[in-house]
C-alpha cells in the first residue's frame, strides 16, 4: 500500500493543540474479490465505481497533542497495514485488540473508492458508515454509529450495536441485527430479516419475504409484496398496502392493517387493539 503524507493541519483547542494527518491509499486489486477493513473510532465512507481495477482514497488521523506527540503515538500505538492473502485484501486502521482503552486516543476517518464488483467486509468500533453502489454485497459489524447504505445489490448482513440505520435502493437478501436505533428501509427487492431490540422500524416499497423480531418500538410497513411475519413484544404495528399473507404475534400494542390482499393471522391477548380496513383475505384472531 502506497501511503503519502499530504499535510499537517494544526488548530488551537482549549489549552492544547490538535493535529490531523491525511494520507493517500492506493492498492492494486488484481485477483481480489473481497476487501476486509478494520477501523477503530472514526467514520468510514466507501463508494464503488464501475470499471476501475484498484482501490483509491485517503484516511485522516486526528488526535490532541503536539506534532511530535501525535506522530509518536501513531508509530508506537497504532496499527496501519495492508495485506493480500489469495483473493482477499485486508486493511487495518486503528489499534490492536490488546491496546488499553486509555491509549486509544486517535480518531481515524476513511474515504475509499473501490470497484463495484467487490465484496466489502467492514468492522468498525465507533463512527458513522456510508456505503454505496456495490454489486456483490457487504457485511458490516459496527458497535456504535449511524449506517447509511444506498444502491447496493448482493447479500448484505448488518450487525449494529447502536445508531440509526438507513437503507435505500437495494436488492437481494438483507439481514439486520440491531440493538438500539431506528431502522429505515426504502425500495428493497429481496428477502428481509430484522432482529431488533428497540427502535422504530419503517419499511416502504419492498418486495420479498419479511421476517421481523422486535423487542420494543413501532413498526410501519407500506407498499409491500410478499409474506410478512412480525413477532413484537411492545409497540404499534401498522401495515398498509400489502399483497401477501401476514402473520403477527404481539404481546402489547395496537395493530392496524389497511388495504391488505391476503390472509391475516394475529396472535395477541388484546384483540380490542386490532384495527382492520379493506382486508380481502381471511382474518384469524387467537390468544
Report the predicted TM-score, pTM, of the whole model to 2 decimal places: 0.90
In order along the chain (287 residues), what is the average pLDDT of each group of 10 residues?
Answer: 39 50 93 96 97 96 84 90 94 89 91 98 96 98 96 97 96 95 97 95 98 94 98 94 96 93 92 90 88
Domain positions in the chain are: 1-166, 182-287
Question: In whole angstroms, what is the distance from residue 66 CA to residue 9 CA?
Answer: 11
| 97 touches 114 (CB < 8 A) | no
pLDDT at 30: 92
Question: In whole angstroms, what is the distance from residue 177 CA to residue 212 CA?
Answer: 10
Specify the DSSP class assigned to residue 66: -
Question: In whole angstroms, what is the distance from residue 61 CA to residue 78 CA?
Answer: 10
As given in the structure block, the three cell numbers for residue 127 are 463512527
Amino acid at each position: 500500500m502506497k501511503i503519502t503524507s499530504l499535510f499537517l493541519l494544526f488548530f488551537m483547542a482549549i489549552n492544547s493543540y490538535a493535529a490531523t494527518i491525511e494520507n493517500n491509499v492506493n492498492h492494486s486489486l488484481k485477483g481480489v474479490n473481497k476487501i476486509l477493513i478494520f477501523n477503530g473510532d472514526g467514520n468510514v465512507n466507501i463508494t464503488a465505481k464501475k470499471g476501475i481495477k484498484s482501490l483509491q482514497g485517503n484516511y485522516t488521523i486526528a488526535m490532541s497533542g503536539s506534532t511530535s506527540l501525535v506522530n509518536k503515538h501513531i508509530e508506537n500505538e497504532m496499527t496501519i497495514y495492508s495485506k493480500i492473502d489469495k483473493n482477499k485484501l485486508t486493511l487495518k486502521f486503528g489499534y490492536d485488540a490488546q491496546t488499553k482503552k486509555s491509549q486509544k486516543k486517535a480518531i481515524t476517518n476513511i474515504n475509499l473508492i473501490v470497484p463495484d464488483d467487490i465484496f466489502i467486509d467492514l468492522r468498525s468500533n465507533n463512527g458513522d458508515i456510508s456505503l454505496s453502489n456495490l454489486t456483490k454485497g457487504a457485511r458490516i459489524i459496527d458497535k456504535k454509529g449511524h449506517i447509511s447504505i444506498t444502491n447496493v445489490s448482493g447479500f448484505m448482513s448488518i450487525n449494529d450495536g447502536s445508531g440509526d440505520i438507513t437503507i435505500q435502493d437495494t436488492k437481494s437478501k438483507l439481514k439486520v441485527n440491531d440493538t438500539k436505533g431506528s431502522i429505515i428501509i426504502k425500495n428493497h427487492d429481496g428477502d428481509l430479516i430484522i432482529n431488533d431490540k428497540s427502535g422504530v422500524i419503517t419499511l416502504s416499497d419492498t418486495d420479498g419475504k419479511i421476517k421481523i423480531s422486535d423487542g420494543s418500538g413501532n413498526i410501519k410497513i407500506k407498499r409491500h409484496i410478499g409474506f410478512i411475519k412480525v413477532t413484537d413484544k411492545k409497540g404499534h404495528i401498522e401495515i398498509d398496502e400489502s399483497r401477501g399473507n401476514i402473520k403477527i404475534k404481539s404481546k402489547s400494542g395496537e395493530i392496524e392493517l389497511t388495504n391488505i390482499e391476503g390472509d391475516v393471522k394475529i396472535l395477541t391477548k388484546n384483540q380490542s387493539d386490532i384495527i382492520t380496513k379493506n382486508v380481502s383475505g381471511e382474518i384469524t384472531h387467537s390468544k
